[in-house]
Structure 1
Amino acid sequence: MNPKYFLSLLAVLPLLISPACPPPLKFAGITLDPPSLVFSPQLIDPSGAASNSQTVTITNSGSGTLSISDITASGQFSQSNNCPTSMTAHTSCTMQVMFAPNAVGSVNGAVTITSNALAKRIAVVGLSGVGLPPISFQPGSLDFGSIAVGTSSSAQSVTLTNNLATTLTISHIGVSGGYTQTSNCSSVSAGQSCQINVKFSPSLDGAIVGALSIISDVSPDAQPVGLNGTGLGSVASPASLSPASLDFGNREAGTTSNAKSVTVTNTGSSSLSVTKVDLSSGYQIGTDTCSGSSLPAGDTCSISVKFSPVADLATVDYPGALTIDSNPSAAQVVGLAGTAVPPISALPSAVDFGTVFTDPSGTPLNPPPPQKLTLTNNHNSGENTSVASSGHFDLSNNSCPQTLASGAHCVADVAFTSAYTAGPNLGGVTLASSSGGFLNPTTVNLRACATAVSISPPSFNFGAGTPGASSEPGTFTITNGSGKDLNVSHVSLTGTNSGDFAISNNTCTSPLTSGSTCTLDVVDTPAASGARSAALNLTDDGDCSPQQAALKSGSGTGPFTIYLSVNDATASGEIISTPAGIECSSGNCSGKFPAGTKVTLEGSPASAFQIAWSGACSGGSSCSFTMDSDKQVTATLNRNPELLVTIAGTGSGSVTSIPGGINCSSPVTADSICVADFAAGVNVTLTAKTGTNSRFDGWTGGGCSGTGTCSFVSNSDQTIRRFGCRYLDREHHGAFCCQQIRSITVLLLCVLDAHGRHCIA
């Protein structure tokens, strides 16, 4: 080893091992195993009994200390844990989560963990379960269609299931209207089922509604099963009922509504005897002037009905019937409807934000708009309410006052945040009221699914179309930004009018490597006029499979969407629309326009680049079309061909261009321009002019040679060099030669030889 270099190494070695260098930063991390929990169906129990617990392990996956400030379970879920407020690196704790539903049906929620974890301050465990009533019916309604008067339909079955852990004793099974039932459901063991067979035997012409209900030894009791059928015939009753149906709307479970009246009129020519009045479960007779009465021709009587849903059972519908037996006449029926609700309810009762496509960094490509929730106080007095969201969902524009008056409404927006995890995201909006009770709080189920396997555009409207005629294809681009290879197993079309659509080209083969794309072309051939719809499905092993794009056609009413993709590989610029709606500099953009609108897309500023259009656009710097369907447009922005002039050697002089743009001089001056853009296809001529004591030795590059002018067609980046050398005496060596490259100026020192004629460095 050269001693000089060895000594140099010894000199820097202490610097390499110096303890003055700061230690690496340490950050906390958090992982959840599993990241979500699904609970088995759980019986709703006013005593508050919860499910068996499920375990989630919380681990500090970082190198720093994890500080946990809060762990909260939402709605009908609860948690307990052994987690300290401070966890050292790579240590774990456990959390037990329980489910105690107070409502029938699906329930979503979340456990939210707030900490100092890097990039994951809010960690979420998605939760889902199903609340079961003590007794359930499947199906929840029967439709017998049209049956001739005086005949009977075939039997349809209803399965009654005992969801209790004890034997169910049924004391009565009742049906109303023109319906009959047979069953062996007097006693049903825990977890077992029995069959109830129902027939429809209309005795009158027209629609006849009814209900199947039971009386048992459990509380809350079962909700009724709705029965629907139509009698076909000429038999009419002299008993006219008005109105033909009563709808009580929403009613807080466990309370009784105000009465609504039905008037019975004898439209016959002789007296009418009302022999019996009967009601389905969930309803009560208020007043009754009809039962046991004899109505002379043209006379009336009335019956008032109240809706009284059982306590602790919501949200459930109560189909029913008021049955009036008379002589001479077959039984007449008034349809009844009402819904048992909790003290505070919301519409909609669930919000699904669908699939949110993201780029590889997790930025949403189609962020869903916030959804409005309308909250209603169903209680008979004002309620102090609180509204809170859980999981990766946020509330905004909450107009709800602290005290919401009885029957009053308020509105709040709920949004899917950008701080989500890949895959399904579950949460809820919890509505709590001051009246308390088993049905408090109410949960609005929230769901969204985030995936970096994206389909663009997420929907496409082919416009009105002509039945039997095929449209131009709509192209869907699938991008795999998941960070791993994607195995595509199936591409399909589903939905109401899936037969109208066909996949005409498919480049999506397995595996679709990470970061790559493939395309699907879909053609619409509507079988009929009017609105048509279907879905394009991509089934794979990625998150949120199958990913879907909506297909629409058959309507020219709009609005229609422009889906614009801007590629700016060699230029920067912007595509704007007239009228306003599109303003896009790169990536994917979209804008909606009314049907029939003429839209013009153009680049701005147009002088800096040229545009290559594809899709619905073609032509020069702008394109126009009429919005009669969704449009797909790709704009590729390329810089106009650039001319670079370099003056080499030691001479002085200048180069100018026709058309103007180049005015390059040596020595360089403040107004020297050696780089310029010229539109493609333009004829450019360069002329060299020498300075004092300089000669022009010719051109090189760009297809030019000789000592005359240099002419060419601008169609690619051109580099033209002009050679020249200034003759100076030996004392003036060291002159500067100027070379300008785009916006960078490089000064090259020119050292002349002993004769003052050539640069030697």
Structure 2
Amino acid sequence: MSLANNPTLNSASIFGLVGGKSPFQPTLTSAPASLAVQVAATSGGLSYSASALVFSAAYLNFPATQTLTVINNGPLAVGFTNVQIVGANASDFSLQASCPAPPGLPVGQTCVIGIGFAPSAGGVRNATLLVETNGVNSPQSFALSGTGLPHVGSSVTLSPSSLTFTLAGVPQAVTVTNNSAKPIALGSISTTLGSETNNCGAMLAAQSICTIEVETLSLGISFDNVGTNTGTLTVTDTGNPGVETLPVNVPYGSVNFTPLPINFGGMPLGVTSMANASNVASGSSYYGPAPPFSGSITGPNASDFGVGFFGNSYETTAYVTFTPTGLGARTATLVTNYGNIPLSGNGVTDSASFSITPVAPVSSQVGVSLPVPVTIQNTGSTVLYLRLATGSGDFVLPGTLASSPLVLVPAQSQSFNISFNPVGLGLRSATLTATDTGSGVSHSIPLTGTGDAIDPSITPITFTFSSTEVGVLSAAQTMTVSTPSGGPVSIQFSNDGYNNDFPLNPGTCATQTPCQISVSFKPSKTGSDYADYLVTDLVTAQTTLFTVYGSGGVGSVSLSSSSLTFAARDIGTTSISQTVTLTNTGDATLTISGETFSGANVGDFPIEGNTCGSSLAGGANCTLTISFDPTASGTRSAILQIMTNAASSPDNIQLMGTAN
């Protein structure tokens, strides 16, 4: 018990616990040497779902993905300090998802490491996945392999050779032609500007065509109505060369216009909805007026919808209403001189009816909540008790609506925010469903968002160095850089045209984060200075900018007097002392290396007091107190020299006196 309660006891202390009258006596006559045992707790043990990943053969530019599942079997949490891909063809493999950095993966939990494969050349492609943790049996390596298939057949062509849009919401067709005598596989079809739909499928037969329809989602404005917003339509396939591109152009004009679809939801037959608005706005007045916003409604149920245009030459709003004349889905299109706006609604019997405004796609960083506004209107003739649900962890209802019904009287509308808090990267989707508990009438709208990678974290995000002498290296300040993946980051100086007076040590976090970076300041000129550094997460390509500031200066000496003259006095007597004030009129610390005397009678002028020390801050002052103690008759003189790092050094004080 004594040992348990006193773990620092040594052998001699324990030996002495046995009293002379104890019935149990040690056979040794003296205490043995102390025995030291180091006890180290092991970290958690991990198991992996595979020892290697083999990808199916893939055509060049046709990406494939596999996952490696990791389980923490305990007894402690394990942090992943470095996950990277190395080897001969490492660039053909990419890290799609990783496991958490320290404190890491809790006991009993799993995480997934995602690996992508996109061969850049034909034949077998090999690399190695390296996983380093703060647990036991680290590092672990996993062989990655796949085969790149060369492209076959002749080229695929796109027609026309480019697209130019002057109307939003009006699709233009692109024909994809397989000129080969063999069928080809089609991969991704995407556009960086607007949106696309297609009927191409996974394969395109020999000497066959398919169609892509591209439309721009908005028109933009510029200061001078010139210039073009450009994008690219890209088609990947197994033909040669395998990637076809087509320019997509939207010239800037005099208006901003985004033709979002207008959905009125359910409305009783013959009942007119509240007006739903779509805006066209030109820029500020000095741009000049825009062509008037005008148009008409066409389509299968055009007579169910009405439109009115209100505004001026600088901003016009189209107000659309819906009055269903039949049951079920009702559709039409508002065709305007700036593009088309899809219109839709449902004709319902005169009972429970409501509409939900469409929600535009949103984006937010993973783990960062973004409010998404939603409005629901009671378009029927009865009171509604709506139960709401999203069925997704990415889109969260406010607390009251998650547990209690939304009550709406006829014609009443209610707006609220759904929180978009993405739990993963990429496209996130859900469905908002509202159901009336009395009638069972239900409506749904899609919710879509994008989870963006989190920017690197830097603490602190900025530094300010005090005024530092030009050419002198300051003491370092330290920052901590971390990333969600725990992967490496690069740090680049980003001040174009400026000297970098703020060196980093080390200059990067090349293997893992979190890591610490020291920043120093060595000014090359006087005055204020700064440097911007761009920190890039090498796993997600997200960036963060941090800035350091400083001021370069020099010390400068100013003396309250450059000479002291003492009154005549007898040999061997001491005068009343006189004082000279030294002021640092510079903006950097003045270094004082000492005071020396020169001249004929250096021993006659003792320094009685000195407050100057070895350094003096910018704007500060100190004093030197000197007396006269002549050792011989006649005129006595000397020079007091003050040695500093100022350009004027040494600074002299002439000392004069007469002895009787």
Give the alignment's TM-score, normalised by structure 1: 0.28
Relative to total residues, which structure has the larger strand share, 1 or 2?
A: 1
Give the alignment's TM-score, normalised by structure 2: 0.31
